[in-house]
Structure 1
Amino acid sequence: MTSSSSKSMLGYFGWAFIVTIAGLVLGGLLGWNMSGTLGGLATAFFICLVLAVLEISLSFDNAIVNANKLKEMTPVWQHRFLTWGIVIAVFGMRIVFPLAIVAIAAHINPWEALKLAAAEPEQYAAIMHDAHLPIAAFGGTFLMMVGLTYFFDREKDVHWIAFVEKAMAQFATVKGIEIAFVLILVLIFTSLLDGEDATTFLHASVYGLLTFLLVEVLSGFLDASQKAMSAAARGGLGAFLYLEILDASFSFDGVIGAFALTQNLFIIAIGLGIGAMYVRSMTIMLVEKGTLAHYRYLEHGAFYAILILSVIMYVQTLMHIPEVITGLGGAALIGISLLSSIRYNKRNGTGHDPAHREPRDRAEA
């Protein structure tokens, strides 16, 4: 991925704008085909638009985390993630994943699940809703491990909320502390659920934890053996797999929440797909313009948002929390971290040079 500091906003979001126009037109046509009225067309058009905004608000922190990981990857693997990755994100998580959930839950094949989505969307949505608990437990656990691993790092010496982050960095010397924290939280929420729900939550959470640990082990193995790999694969495959699973975890909440607006799988795929294109564009812009290097607390805000999202996914197994709260909460944290970064830059006279490195021993409460 070539750096281009002079690239215009349209240059970064050009494809996203094109996909937006095409998606909204296609969504409107689906609405017209289903209802045969202008009202149906307008409703489908509006839902696609709302879903796109929902996806962007829920996934802005995902773009920041992706950018942080991408800057360590080779250009070849950066390109693969931004091409193959977006195909997996849009078609895999927005279409194949819901179909797979319904196929497994209803004990039918994927083709029958697709026909169910088209012919009986109410039943399809009900099956997806029933699958929310294990999905929330799995995704919440994976995301919580992502967030805690960032803060429980004894080498981390740039802190935003200093009294919290310094303490977590010190406790990072205790081996496996983040795993113990997650397991304690899992046991607490398991105790709050009854019967089969408690068992399902516990099993799904353990699978989420094991998935994170397996990805970490695989990444470490690939990094350790990178000298034996081809030049195209060095430093990239482990990070690619990590980002794909991370993207999937971020997508769980949006896919399930979308059924609150519409039960039509295809409108959901269009709306969330539009949003995914903007997340991809934001990721590229963050990497090429060195935004994370200039705004020192922006990454912190994203990981705090991840932790809050993981807790919300846990709480959603007990009660419904509107998706707008989830999205606005994460966006607010990122916005505050951005303002803190700007204030730091003004106080320390930091310019807009992405190559400028901040002193690593400073911290702001």
Structure 2
Amino acid sequence: MTVSAASAPPLPAGARIEAVAAGAIPGWAQDDQRIVLRLFAQGCETDPPLRQGVASTPGLPALCTEAAALLKAGEPDRAAARNFFESRFSFWRVLPDASPRGFMTGYFEPEFEGSLTRSAAFPTPLYGRPADLVTKMPGDDWPGFDPALTSARRGARGLEPFPDRAAIEDGLLDGQGLEILWMRDPVDRFVLQVQGSGRIRLPDGTVTRLVYAGRNGHPYTSLGRELSRRENIPPAQMTMDRLVARLKADADFARELIRLNRSFVFFARRDDLPPDSGPIGAAGLPLTPLRSIAVDRTVWPYGTPAWIAGEIPDGSGGSEALSRLVLAQDTGSAIVGPARVDLFVGSGPQAGHRAGLIRHPFDLIVLWPRERGR
């Protein structure tokens, strides 16, 4: 089976690719590809996904179906799973023009305390998706609209920009019955919105799950980067833990800084999700720790397998090598570029601590469906 240039993935300006032989990838033969084969067999994405991305490349959905049939016939051994990816995909190293390597961050599913009713202890509302919110899909043309806006509000005169975070926090959505629960403070809500999913532990001890339901469409602003600039903190020292501690220490400062991020995320409750399952990613499927990644949804289709290699913090003051097959199952407003990924680390505070430490260069190899007959 040969690979032609036509089977290479298309890339935007600012990156290049080179073909790689699977056998030449350090660690490839030692990884357990059965883990990602099982994830791949669940499907490339749901219909519709939670966040619409670039159209799937020809052949990818059929390979997801083929993987499901393979598993239905019986659990394959490691060699068979490895051969599935080697025989059906070509391997391409992604090389950004501005850097010899890609850039990886980490994210997690947080858990907070909350309530289904408002009280002095839980005064901060979390909103469901407004009925008049319209999300811009790939290929949509909104003449006269700022191209940076990815959502709009449908009014009597047509589409108009959806109000920003400050307007929403000032009560824009009050009286519409959109409150799905209440949180302790805006800092908890901000962290939840950055991560895109979460668990809320209610006063009676039960847990409700939250999934992404849309955003107001304004560009995302990194508060960590802004705090680094204001307080002369080296970017390498600006972790999520440090940012949250600074915001929690001063409510007025937190309110002012959080409003710099005009983006505002809406959620839906999913109490049907099993407690031990991962959160639902943008592709509409559960995420798996250290095997699911978020990618730029305008570049890579959901369901694209990839090989990542680098060194990341272990969460205990050390670091560890991470070389493994992963699957593109999510996206994020800050994940922009063909060699930019966000690694899902897991759920809970320990995963959150580790995720907040990951800001590392890494190598990215994308697996792209081979052309038929090649």
TM-score by length of structure 1 reads 0.27
Q: Tell me: higher relative CO, structure 1 or 2? Use CA pairs within 8 A at least 6 residues apart.
A: 1
Higher helix share: 1
TM-score by length of structure 2 reads 0.26
